[in-house]
Amino acid sequence: MSLQYALLGLLTYSPMNGYKLKKIFDKSINYTWTANLSQIYRELGSLQKKGYVSSSVLEQEDRPDKKIYEITEDGTKAFNEWLMNFPESFPWPKRDEFMLRMFFGASVGKEELVKQLKKFILEKEKFNLEMQDTEKAILQMKKAIDENSSLQATDGNELYWSFITKRAHMSNEVLITWAKECIKELEENMD
C-alpha cells in the first residue's frame, strides 16, 4: 500500500509516465523505499482501477509513446488522508541477512567473522562517501523532480529531505562504530 502512496505523492508534483517515476524514485524516495519498474507499472494500473489516477497517451516520433499518469481529485484526497492518519505503530518487520548470519556466529568462527565484519565496514564507508555531501544529494533530488515539472513543485522540501539524508548518515555511522567494536571484542577473545 505504501508504494501506491509514494507514487501518488510524486504525481502531486507533476503528471508523469511510469519510466520517469522510476527514475525519480531512484534518486529521491529510494532512501526510504525501494521499487522496481514492473512493480510501478502494476501499481499504476491498480491506482487507475481505483480512480486515483487517470492516464493519457503522449505520442512521440523518435521514441516510444508515453503513457502519462495524472493524479485525480480522489487520488489527492486519498493521499492527504494517508498523510494525516499517522498510525499508532508501524509494523517493523526485521529482515537483515547479515544479522541473521551473526546469530549463528558460533558456527562461523571468529577469524571468518572478523573478515565479514571488515567487508561490512567497507560497504558502509562506501555509502558514507556517497552520502557525505548531503546538500548535493538533496539538490539531486530536487533536480530529478524539477527537470520534469515546469513549476517548482519541490520548493520547501529541503528541510524534510535533509532529515532523511541525515538519518541515513547517522545510522550508517553508528553501524561502523558497532562493527569496529565487534572486531575488537572478537580479537580480544581469540585463542
Cβ atoms 20, 58 nearer than 8 A = no
- Among 5, 20, 24, 121, the residue binding its own copies under the rule CB under 8 A is 5
124 touches 172 (CB < 8 A): yes
123 in contact with its own copies (CB under 8 A): yes
**Distant-in-sequence, close-in-space partners of 47: CB < 8 Å, separation ≥ 6:** 4, 7, 8, 53, 69, 75
- ∠ CA 7-167-162, nearest 5°, is 65
Rounded CA separation 100/80 (Å): 38
- Find the binder of its own copies among 59, 73, 96, 191 (CB under 8 A): 96
CB of 109 to DNA, least distance (A): 26
Half-sphere exposure (Cβ direction) of 103: Cα atoms closer than 13 Å: 6
- Among its own copies, DNA, none, partner that 20 touches (CB below 5 to 8 angstroms by kind): DNA
> What are the residues binding its own copies (CB under 8 A)?
2, 5-6, 9, 12, 28-34, 80, 83-84, 86-87, 89-90, 93-108, 112-113, 115-116, 119, 123, 156-157, 159-161, 163-164, 166-167, 170-171, 173-175, 177-178, 181-182, 185-186, 189
> What are the residues binding DNA (CB under 7 A)?
1-3, 17-20, 23, 34-39, 41-42, 44-46, 60, 62-67, 91, 93, 95
